[in-house]
Amino acid sequence: MQKKNSITIKDIARQTGLSKGTVDRVLHNREGVSKKSYEKVMRVIEEAGYQPNIYASLLAQHKDIVIAVVLPECVKGEFWELAEAGLVRARENVSHLGVDIRRVSYDQYDLESFRAACDKALALDPAGVVVAPMFKTETMLFAARLQEKGIPYVYIDSKLEEDGYLAYFGMPMYKSGYLAADLLTQGYAVDEVAIVRIRRDQQRQSDPTINRRAGFMDYMMEHYPDCKIHTIFVRPDAPEETAAAMDAFGAEHPEVRHVVMFNSRIYLTAAHLERLGVADKIRVVGFDNLASNLAALQRGTVNLLIAQHIDEQASMAIQALVDYSIFKKVPAHRDNYMHMDILTRYNVEYY
């Protein structure tokens, strides 16, 4: 399988006058090698451009490694369900490497459940961890424990400003808001815009879409300084209240033609616009490729969706961990801001 030109540890052993065992020791930075031998081996390795044969290596080690993936629960139709596809793909890609991907779920609104998930992940004695952090301080603690054990970890979706993570894969939130504003307005005259927000009852969590909103606002300030920006507060868990809010707003501001929402639930708004019979008069921009969002896009109620491929984030995170643990490859970039996909009813089909 190796090319003719490829060199093996046997060759290195011969050339250095040492044994395979010693060569193996320096290759893995194991202790018990004299400086002299170490250097002799290293020289040959570099000169010959030695590449270990992972098959032989894996074959000889015959051990499984497990990677723990700590994510919010996968609820049908909601955002985190989208990550599953990435896990499936990653699993396929690495299963033949003897890597076992284990999803550890937690309730993103329940701190305790996150703590439990962290413990569960640690209990798996994983070779690496990917985590989507929803709780700041708890994640910090988790990170510290991982570092202590020397377990590499990578963030997806959002990250913490600390220094121990191997990599991060996510969307540039501020920019995504900026983009949303541009797509909503597209250079045409826009006098009023409505933002639909979810009212959160004293959540201690930081609002994950706050930077996105900031980006949106900045764009509007820069390009449409005179545009009036309304906010409609809704509550997904209180449908009547939400309906009432939408009705009231519609009655009061029938002239508003542009609506945007920064979380993943634009489908809720779409439903109300349809109910009020104003769907085709209003330009609607939202986020994330939930099935119900895509449906609203197909129906034409939602004009554009900005999606972030959380599945790719997940699979890339796992790949990075595998490359690191098995192949000793450090990611090319630590912070990986991923592309924002723009979806319309005409390109969604092949998404």
Partner DNA sequence: GTGAAAGCGCTAACAT
Partner DNA sequence: ATGTTAGCGCTTTCAC
Footprint of a second copy (CB under 8 A): 1-3, 51, 53-56, 58-59, 61-64, 96-98, 172, 175, 178-179, 182-183, 186-188, 283, 303, 306, 327, 337-347, 349-351
Nearest approach, Cβ of 51 to a second copy (angstroms)? 8
Q: Are 23 and 9 in contact (CB under 8 A)?
A: yes
Residues 102-141, one symbol each (x = binds DNA by CB under 7 A, - = not), give ----------------------------------------
C-alpha–C-alpha distance, residues 130 and 273, integer Å:
38
CB burial class (10 A; 0-12, 13-18, 19+) of residue 273? buried
How many residues bind DNA (CB under 7 A)? The answer is: 31
Q: Which is nearer to a second copy, 39 or 64 (CB)?
A: 64
Q: Which is nearer to a second copy, 34 or 51 (CB)?
A: 51
Give which of 33, 342, 337 is closest to 170, Cα–Cα: 337
Q: Which is nearer to DNA, 2 or 95 (CB)?
A: 2
Distance from CA of residue 270 to its chain's centroid?
Answer: 26
**96 part of the interface to DNA, by CB under 7 A:** no
Nearest approach, Cβ of 34 to a second copy (angstroms)? 31
Out of 14, 15, 27, 223, the only residue in the binding site for DNA (CB under 7 A) is 27
Question: What's the token pair of residue 181?
Answer: 């504003």
Nearest approach, Cβ of 305 to a second copy (angstroms)? 11
Phi-psi region of 231 (alpha: psi -120 to 50; beta: other; left: phi over 0): beta
Residues 33-62, one symbol each (x = binds DNA by CB under 7 A, - = not), give xx-xxx-------------xx--xx-xxxx
**What's the sign of the alpha-carbon dihedral 329, 332, 333, 337?**
negative
Question: What's the token pair of residue 278?
Answer: 């104003």
Nearest approach, Cβ of 93 to a second copy (angstroms)? 9
Q: Are 68 and 102 in contact (CB under 8 A)?
A: yes
The widest CA-to-CA distance across the chain, in whole angstroms, is: 88
Q: Which is nearer to DNA, 12 or 71 (CB)?
A: 12
Q: Which is nearer to DNA, 32 or 225 (CB)?
A: 32
**15 part of the interface to DNA, by CB under 7 A:** no
**325 part of the interface to DNA, by CB under 7 A:** no
C-alpha–C-alpha distance, residues 292 and 300, integer Å:
12
Q: Which is nearer to a second copy, 53 or 113 (CB)?
A: 53
Cβ neighbors of 12 (< 8 A, separation 6 or more) are 18, 23, 41, 44, 45, 48, 50
**19 part of the interface to DNA, by CB under 7 A:** yes
Q: Choose among DNA, a second copy, none what residue 17 binds, the Cβ cut-off being 5 to 8 Å by kind.
A: DNA
Q: Choose among DNA, a second copy, none what residue 32 binds, the Cβ cut-off being 5 to 8 Å by kind.
A: DNA
Q: Are 172 and 157 in contact (CB under 8 A)?
A: no
Question: What's the token pair of residue 8?
Answer: 């093996």
Residue written as token pair 């599953």 = 84
C-alpha–C-alpha distance, residues 12 and 20, integer Å:
8
Q: Which is nearer to DNA, 52 or 300 (CB)?
A: 52
Nearest approach, Cβ of 151 to DNA (angstroms)? 18
Residue by residue, DSSP assigns 295-306 as HHHHHTSS-EEE
Residue written as token pair 């969590």 = 205
**95 part of the interface to DNA, by CB under 7 A:** no
**Residue 129 β-bridge partners:** 68, 153
Nearest approach, Cβ of 342 to a second copy (angstroms)? 4
Nearest approach, Cβ of 156 to a second copy (angstroms)? 15
Q: Using CB under 7 A as the criterion, which residues of the chain lie in contact with DNA when the complex forms?
A: 2, 6, 8-10, 17-22, 24-25, 27-28, 31-34, 36-38, 52-53, 56-57, 59-63
